[in-house]
């Protein structure tokens, strides 16, 4: 069973709106065990929509066509489907009543143009609208089918879930599901990661289920995605069992490099470890200007373990408030003094500090991309020198994740819990 997605709308091609509908539909199709091998965006042009539909039907059993069902003159998906079916449009009186009723319920007068939405290609079945004014369509073409759904995301999602997916499943006559889980890693390059996981790739090759793929996500590290297909009486259970077993295998190969699963961020992982060990954290930031604190406090419950931070952007503040001695502020000495100073000034168990050169020009004789991370309160105070590549914002963002990862690994290895140095909670 193959199903393509056709997203209709000139605004999508012009980049005025990012097409998130196709991605969502693709995810649902995968979960339903339907192959989606191509997704296309086309503008509001009759000839090109017709051609795109014909091309899709030549490759796939079904097409989900999204958008172009509204009341304005540029909404021409109905006309395009009718042309592909070789039929005319007919006005369905029951749809006219429904659309008039929607406007009456909203106590608004209805422009007559809205009744275009009551027109349906002859032979098509209507998917009743429950949210917007446009109905969806199920349009049979021999042994193939076009589903038309609105482009407004919440209308589309409701209609796909309620009508399109069950219709597709019934056509496919099978119950299978595809599920995936993503292990998020930091500290190993993409090709080295691939070499580490190579034994699993080889072991999985013959059966082809589950499969493993790598996604480089820039400053968010590299993701290892495990995808499993489940069948049988309980396909979800079967897929989840495969995922769990493979996750254990991959974690065995990658160890501490795995910091999170699916949407779990580095800062969320750090938060879990701090909360679990009852330690509080303070940060001292320079080149990142507050980014570390901003990301840590995006984690719900951060007030339980995050005390606060000092953004010591001006060099004299590092000396006056954090106890950094005279000398270069981009140095290991400055980073360790800042980490200790932050823990002291903000009364936290653990102090994390970053100082470095984000660019555009060098500083203290250090080239752009030189960053020192200091860590205090987890064993002896220590520092790490990083040499990062990229522009100013990339260096800042990479610094945040590197610093978070150093803290995470130190917390993993630290015994016991915090000294209780932190004061009361409560973030205003």
- Which residues in the 310-369 window bind a second copy by CB under 8 A? 310-318, 321, 329-330, 334, 345-347, 355-357, 360, 363-364
- The secondary structure of residue 278, as a DSSP letter, is T
Count Cβ atoms below 10 Å from residue 326 Cβ, excluding itself: 6
112-123: buried (b, 16+ CB within 10 Å) or exposed (e) per residue?
A: eebebbbbbbee
Q: Is 17 one of the binding residues for a second copy (CB under 8 A)? A: yes
Q: Is 416 one of the binding residues for a second copy (CB under 8 A)? A: no
Q: Which of 2, 11, 169, 171 binds a second copy (CB under 8 A)?
A: 11
For Cα atoms 169, 153, 144, give the angle at the middle one, nearest 5 degrees: 35
Residue 191 CA to residue 123 CA, distance in Å, equals: 54
Q: Which of 2, 10, 126, 141 binds a second copy (CB under 8 A)?
A: 10
Q: Choose the stretch contacting a second copy; rule: CB under 8 A; options: 82-90, 120-128, 233-241, 297-305.
A: 297-305
Q: Which of 91, 104, 122, 190 binds a second copy (CB under 8 A)?
A: 190
Q: Is 191 one of the binding residues for a second copy (CB under 8 A)? A: yes
Shortest distance, CB of residue 123 to a second copy, whole angstroms?
27
Q: Choose the stretch contacting a second copy; rule: CB under 8 A; options: 159-167, 252-260, 301-309, 405-413.
A: 301-309
Q: Is 396 one of the binding residues for a second copy (CB under 8 A)? A: yes
Which residue lies nearer to a second copy by CB, 87 or 176?
176
Q: Is 179 one of the binding residues for a second copy (CB under 8 A)? A: no
Strand 281-285 and strand 350-356: the pairing is parallel
Which residue lies nearer to a second copy by CB, 12 or 124?
12
Q: Is 14 one of the binding residues for a second copy (CB under 8 A)? A: yes
- Footprint of a second copy on residues 254-293 (CB under 8 A)? 283, 285-293
> What residue spans of 189-331 are helical by DSSP H?
190-204, 235-254, 266-276, 291-296, 315-322
Shortest distance, CB of residue 393 to a second copy, whole angstroms?
6
From residue 232 to residue 251, what is the string marking binding to a second copy with x (rule CB under 8 A)?
--------------------
DSSP code per residue over 371-409: EEEEEESSSS-EEEEEE--S-HHHHHHHHHHHHHHHHHH
CA distances from 203 to 68, 196, 222, 225, 288 (A): 47, 13, 22, 16, 43
Which residue lies nearer to a second copy by CB, 153 or 199?
153
From residue 21 to residue 40, what is the string marking binding to a second copy with x (rule CB under 8 A)?
-xxxxxxx-x-----xxxxx
Q: Is 209 one of the binding residues for a second copy (CB under 8 A)? A: no
Yes or no: say if 272 and 409 are a contact pair by the CB < 8 Å rule: no
Residue 266 CA to residue 277 CA, distance in Å, equals: 17
CA distances from 49 to 90, 153, 345 (A): 20, 20, 64
């Amino acid at each position: 069973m193959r199903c393509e997605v056709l997203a209709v709308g000139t605004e999508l091609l012009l980049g005025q709106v990012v097409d998130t509908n196709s991605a969502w539909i693709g995810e649902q199709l995968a979960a339903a065990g339907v192959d989606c091998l191509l997704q296309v965006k086309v503008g509001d042009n009759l000839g090109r929509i017709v051609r795109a539909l014909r091309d899709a039907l030549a490759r796939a059993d079904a097409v989900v066509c999204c958008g172009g069902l509204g009341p304005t003159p540029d909404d021409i998906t109905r006309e395009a489907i009718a042309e592909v079916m070789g039929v005319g449009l007919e006005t369905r009186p029951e749809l006219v009543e429904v659309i008039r009723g929607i406007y009456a319920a909203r106590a608004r007068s209805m422009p007559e143009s809205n009744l275009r939405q009551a027109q349906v290609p002859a032979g098509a079945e209507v998917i009743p609208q429950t949210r917007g004014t446009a109905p969806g369509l199920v349009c049979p073409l021999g042994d193939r089918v076009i589903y038309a759904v609105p482009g407004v995301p919440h209308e589309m999602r409701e209609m796909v879930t309620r009508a399109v997916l069950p219709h597709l499943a019934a056509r496919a006559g099978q119950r299978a599901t595809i599920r995936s889980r993503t292990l998020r890693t930091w500290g190993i390059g993409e090709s080295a990661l691939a070499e580490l996981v190579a034994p699993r790739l080889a072991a999985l090759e013959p059966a082809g289920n589950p499969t493993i793929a790598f996604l480089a996500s820039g400053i968010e590290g590299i993701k290892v995605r495990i995808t499993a297909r489940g069948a049988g009486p309980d396909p979800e259970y079967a897929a989840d069992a495969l995922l769990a077993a493979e996750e254990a295998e991959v974690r065995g190969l990658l160890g501490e490099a795995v910091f999170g699963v699916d949407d779990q961020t580095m800062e969320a992982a750090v938060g879990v470890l701090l909360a679990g060990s009852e330690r509080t954290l303070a940060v001292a930031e320079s080149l990142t200007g507050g980014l570390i604190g901003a990301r840590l406090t995006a984690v719900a419950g951060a007030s339980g373990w995050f005390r606060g931070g000092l953004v010591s952007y001006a060099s004299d503040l590092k000396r006056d408030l954090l106890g950094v001695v005279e000398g270069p502020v981009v140095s290991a000495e400055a980073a360790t003094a800042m980490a200790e100073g932050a823990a002291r000034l903000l009364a936290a168990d653990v102090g994390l500090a970053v100082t470095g050169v984000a660019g555009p020009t060098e500083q203290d004789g250090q080239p752009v991309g030189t960053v020192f991370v200091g860590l205090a309160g987890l064993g002896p105070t220590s520092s790490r020198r990083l040499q990062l590549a990229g522009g100013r914002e990339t260096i800042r963002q990479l610094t945040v994740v590197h610093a978070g990862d150093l803290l995470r690994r130190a917390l993993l290895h630290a015994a016991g819990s915090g000294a209780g140095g932190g004061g009361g909670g409560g973030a205003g």
